[in-house]
Amino acid sequence: MKLSSNGQANSHPEPDAAIVAEGVAKQYHIGLREQSRDTLLQSVLALVSAPLNNLRQLRRLSDVSDDDAPDVLWALRDVSFQVAPGEVVGLIGRNGAGKSTLLKILSRITPPTRGRVTLNGRVSSLLEVGTGFHPELTGRENVYLNGTILGMRKGEVDRRFDEIVAFSEVEKFIDTPVKRYSSGMRVRLAFAVSAHLQSEILLVDEVLAVGDAAFQEKCLRAMDGIAQTGRTVLLVSHNMQVIQQLCGRALLFEGGRLAADGAPPAVVAQYLSHAAAASLPSAVRLGDELCLNRLSVTQNGAPAGEWLDRGRPFEIHLHYDVLRPVRNLLLGFNVVAGDGANLFRTYDMLSAGLGERQPGSYESVLRLPGGVLPSGHYFFEVVAGLHRLRWLSKGDVRLRLNLGGGRETDVDFPGAVAPLGDWTVTPHGDASHGLNGSNRSDG
């Protein structure tokens, strides 16, 4: 489902825009690296002068100046845009591109260093679900506390209390201390409060990344609902599927600057074309023999980002140069689960053999079938070596991938591996009228 975009940003601020950002910039002071001490005397002297140095460093943390000192980081540079009321805008970009900093400025958690933002309407932000939840308080008390933290008045919480509790599915335990809840219940209750905020502008940061698959699905539906009530929504997500499904417009951030602004498919495509290569900051030398230029991922014949559909096959492409003739080359991946478990290793010699490989440019493609790995995130570590001789690289370069379900159902299939097999269900005798669910499998 796509939401209509109410128009692109233009050079003059419209009087009725919901959000107007003009030249917003944000500077951070990050701590300078500690100097190393070589001798005992230096260490002792450093110990004595440490309080003075610490004081100087700590003072700089809150010091806001426009200089380009080495410990200065510009998280946002000269960002301008407008959002019309009712628009649902996705913010995308790599980690550290400035998306979250922008949301923090819009939600008034931190002020901009330069520029100005005008917000027309009440703002509430879902930067993290469950902020301020206290384990000793009951669900009911936490709903009120969390609601007021997020900017609701007590009366508003009163009015929506039943809805919130119904959404969270924890009715039976609403007067139990939250510390007795399962983590799933806690997240559900927290999201329920957030989903019922009554503000004109809603800022959302990756809240959809919490909970199990079934709950994520529910959150997505809730976000759909929020988007359809005509509220202005700014949504940060790394999940391109979500961005394309919910948003009518997308903003791409790169290095603190606004790099693209437009319809989600085009902006997402621009992001992905960079993002796949982005896991390699530059070409990486593997020993004297290899130079790894680029890693990319495709699924369904199109470039894909970090998020893949676990049910369909996908391909990982290694683009590299062979710098001198090599024999017995082993090049491939170690596949590691998100929790660190080593799953399997595979090399391209399965196709190319161990014979001599001449200098030149190559592309090795690993094609993995769908429906083998369960939902979750994985690391594909590049391993390269000369068989029975030495390693060139083992885990220096790694690609992070997230496998998620398609959204047809919200059923989760847990387990270490996930070949789901083929099912046939045949009604017998009395039960022959028993299969009339919408998800019935024909055959």
Partner 1 sequence: MTTQLKPQSIVIEPAHRRAVIDWRELREYRDLFYFLIDRDIKVLYKQTVLGFGWAILRPVLSMVIFTVIFGGLAQVDSDGVPYALFSYAALVPWLYFSTALSAGALSLVNNTDMLTKVYFPRLIFPLTPVFSKLVDFAISFVLVFGLMAWFRVPPTPRLLALPLFIALMMLTTAGISLWLAAMSVQYRDVKHAMPFLTQILMYAAPVVWSAALIGERFGPTGRLLFGLYPMVGVIEGFRVALLNTGPLPWDMLGVGTLSAAIIFVTGLFYFRRMEVTFADVA
Instruction: Select the span of 42-50, 59-67, 297-305, 401-409 touching partner 1 (CB under 8 A).
Output: 59-67
DSSP alpha helix (H) spans, 211-297 = 213-228, 240-246, 264-278
Nearer to partner 1 by Cβ, of 72 and 260: the residue is 72
Single out the residue of 46, 78, 80, 114 in contact with partner 1 (rule: CB under 8 A).
Answer: 114
Does 28 participate in binding partner 1 (rule CB under 8 A)?
A: yes
What tokens does 54 get? 């610490």
Q: What is the DSSP string of 179-201?
A: GGS-HHHHHHHHHHHHHT---SE
> Which position among 141, 261, 321, 410 is part of the footprint of partner 1 (CB under 8 A)?
141
Please tell me whether residue 153 binds partner 1 under the rule CB under 8 A: yes
Q: How far, in Å, CA of 220 to CA of 242, rounded?
A: 8
Q: Are 312 and 296 in contact (CB under 8 A)?
A: no
Judged by CB under 8 A, the residue of 2, 122, 180, 440 near partner 1 is 122
Q: Which of the ranges 149-157, 300-308, 344-352, 383-391 carries the binding residues for partner 1, by CB under 8 A?
A: 149-157
Round the CA-based radius of gyration of the chain to a whole number and report it: 26
Site string (175-204) toward partner 1, x via CB under 8 A: --x----------------------x----
Site for partner 1 in 158-177 (CB under 8 A): 177
What interhelical angle do 183-195 and 139-149 show, nearest 10? 40
SS3 408: coil
Shortest separation between residue 258's beta carbon and partner 1, angstroms: 17
360-368 vs 314-322, strand pairing mode: antiparallel
Binding positions for partner 1, 6-25, rule CB under 8 A: 13, 15-16, 20, 22
The structure tokens 């949504």 sit at: 235
Name the packing angle between helices 139-149 and 154-168 (round to 10°). 130
* By the rule CB under 8 A, 411 interacts with partner 1: no
- Among residues 7, 96, 121, 406, which is the contact residue for partner 1, using CB under 8 A? 121
Residue from 105, 234, 292, 316 in contact with partner 1 (CB under 8 A): 105
| Three-class secondary structure of residue 373 per DSSP | coil
Half-sphere exposure of 307 (CA within 13 A, CB side): 14
**Site residues (vs partner 1, CB under 8 A):** 13, 15-16, 20, 22, 28, 58-59, 61-62, 64, 104-123, 125, 127-128, 131-132, 134, 136-137, 141, 144-145, 148-154, 177, 200
